C-alpha cells in the first residue's frame, strides 16, 4: 500500500454544481424509502378530498370528465405542497436549525443546493402523484384520451421548471421576511387551490381572473394537461395548448433567472454583514 495520502480533488464550476445537486437530492430520495408509511398517508389523505369533489360532481350531474379533472388536480396538489413547504420555506427552516450559515460559507452555490432539494423532492412527489392518479382512476373509473404525448410531456416538464423556479425565488423572499414566512406559507396554500383551478376548469373564473392566476405555473400547466388528456378538455380550456406552452416557457425563464439573482443577493448580504437577515429587512 502507498504511504502517501490520497490526493484530494477539488471540484469547481459545473462539476461542483452537479455534485451539489446530487448530494442534496440524495437524502430526500433515500429518506422516502426509509419511511414507507409516509407514502400511504401521502396518497390516502389527498384521495379523501378528491373523493369529496367527485361525489359532489356526480351528485349534481356534471360531465364525467370533471371527475378526471379532479383526479389530475388532486395529483398536482402534491407538487404545490412540495414547493410551498419543501422549497419556499426551506431556507427559513435551515436558518432556524442553524444550517443556513454552513450553506452560505460553503463553496457550493446556493442555486445548486436548492436545485438538489427540488430534484429530490420532485422524485418523491412524482411517485405520490402517480399513485394518486392510478388509484383515483381505478376507484372512480376515469377514462383518458391523450391527444399528444409529446405536448403532454412538454407541458409537465415546463410546469415543473417554472413551479420549482418560483419555489427557489420565494425561498429567498421568505428568508428575508424571516418569521413571516410561516404565515405566508399557510396563507398561500388554500387560495392557490382556488385560483389555479385544482378541482375545476380555471376558465370558469372569468378571463381576467384566470389571466391573473396564470402567474402561478400550476394554473396553465393543469389547464393544458386537461386539454391534452380528456376529450372535452379543449372546449373547457382557458387558452390554446400552444399559447400556454409559450407562456410556461416565459415563466420558467423569469422565475429561474429571478431565483438566481435573489439567492446571490441573500448570499452577498450574509457574507457582507457576517450574520443572517432579520425581520426588519
Q: What whole-number distance in Å separates Cα of residue 162 and Cα of residue 256?
A: 7
Longest CA–CA span in the chain (Å) reads 79
Q: Is-contact 220 255, C-beta < 8 A?
A: no
Q: Is-contact 221 202, C-beta < 8 A?
A: no
Give residue 11's pLDDT. Answer: 60
Q: What whole-number distance in Å separates Cα of residue 227 and Cα of residue 148?
A: 10
170: nearest Cα among 262, 81, 99, 278: 262
Give residue 48's pLDDT. Answer: 81
Q: What whole-number distance in Å separates Cα of residue 110 and Cα of residue 271?
A: 13
Cell of 8: 484530494
Residues 6+ apart with CB under 8 A from 138: none
Tens-digit pLDDT string for the chain (281 aa): 455 455 455 566 677 778 877 877 777 777 666 666 666 766 777 788 888 888 888 888 888 888 888 888 888 888 887 777 677 777 777 777 777 777 777 777 777 887 887 777 777 788 788 888 888 888 888 888 888 889 999 999 999 888 888 888 887 777 777 666 667 777 777 788 888 888 888 888 888 888 888 888 889 999 999 999 988 888 888 889 999 999 999 999 999 898 888 887 877 776 676 555 444 44
Q: Is-contact 160 79, C-beta < 8 A?
A: yes
Give residue 197's pLDDT. Answer: 84
End-to-end Cα separation, the chain, in angstroms: 56
Residues 6+ apart with CB under 8 A from 12: 107
252: nearest Cα among 182, 157, 114: 157
SS3 215: coil
Q: Is-contact 112 16, C-beta < 8 A?
A: yes
Q: Is-contact 248 220, C-beta < 8 A?
A: yes
What does the DSSP 8-state code read for residue 188?
A: H
Domain ranges of the chain: 35-273
- In the block, cell 410531456 appears at 153
Q: What whole-number distance in Å separates Cα of residue 86 and Cα of residue 55?
A: 31
Give residue 155's pLDDT. Answer: 92
Burial of 204 (0-12, 13-18, 19+ CB in 10 A): exposed
Q: What pTM was estimated for this model as a whole?
A: 0.82
177: nearest Cα among 97, 88, 256, 98: 88
Amino acid at each position: 500500500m502507498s504511504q502517501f495520502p490520497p490526493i484530494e480533488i477539488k471540484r469547481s464550476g459545473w462539476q461542483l454544481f452537479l455534485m451539489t445537486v446530487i448530494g442534496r437530492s440524495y437524502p430526500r430520495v433515500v429518506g422516502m424509502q426509509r419511511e414507507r408509511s409516509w407514502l400511504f398517508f401521502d396518497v390516502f389523505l389527498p384521495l379523501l378530498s378528491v373523493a369529496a369533489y367527485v361525489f359532489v360532481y356526480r351528485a349534481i350531474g356534471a360531465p364525467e370528465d370533471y371527475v378526471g379533472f379532479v383526479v389530475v388536480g388532486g395529483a398536482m396538489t402534491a407538487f404545490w405542497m412540495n414547493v410551498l413547504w419543501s422549497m419556499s420555506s426551506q431556507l427559513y427552516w435551515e436558518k432556524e436549525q442553524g444550517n443556513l450559515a454552513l450553506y452560505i460559507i460553503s463553496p457550493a452555490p446556493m442555486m445548486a443546493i436548492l436545485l438538489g432539494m427540488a430534484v429530490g423532492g420532485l422524485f418523491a412527489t412524482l411517485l405520490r402523484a402517480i399513485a394518486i392518479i392510478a388509484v383515483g382512476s381505478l376507484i372512480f373509473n376515469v377514462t383518458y384520451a391523450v391527444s399528444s404525448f409529446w405536448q403532454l410531456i412538454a407541458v409537465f416538464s415546463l410546469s415543473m421548471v417554472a413551479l420549482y423556479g418560483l419555489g427557489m425565488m420565494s425561498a429567498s423572499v421568505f428568508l428575508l421576511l424571516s418569521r413571516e414566512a410561516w404565515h405566508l406559507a399557510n396563507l398561500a396554500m388554500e387560495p392557490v387551490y382556488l385560483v389555479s383551478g385544482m378541482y375545476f376548469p380555471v376558465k370558469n373564473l372569468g378571463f381576467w381572473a384566470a389571466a391573473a392566476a396564470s402567474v402561478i405555473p400550476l394554473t396553465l400547466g393543469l389547464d393544458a394537461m386537461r386539454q391534452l388528456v380528456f376529450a372535452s378538455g379543449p372546449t373547457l380550456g382557458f387558452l390554446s395548448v400552444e399559447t400556454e406552452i409559450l407562456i410556461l416557457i416565459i415563466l420558467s425563464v423569469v422565475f429561474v433567472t429571478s431565483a438566481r439573482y435573489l439567492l446571490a443577493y441573500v448570499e452577498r448580504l450574509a457574507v457582507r454583514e457576517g450574520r443572517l437577515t432579520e425581520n426588519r429587512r
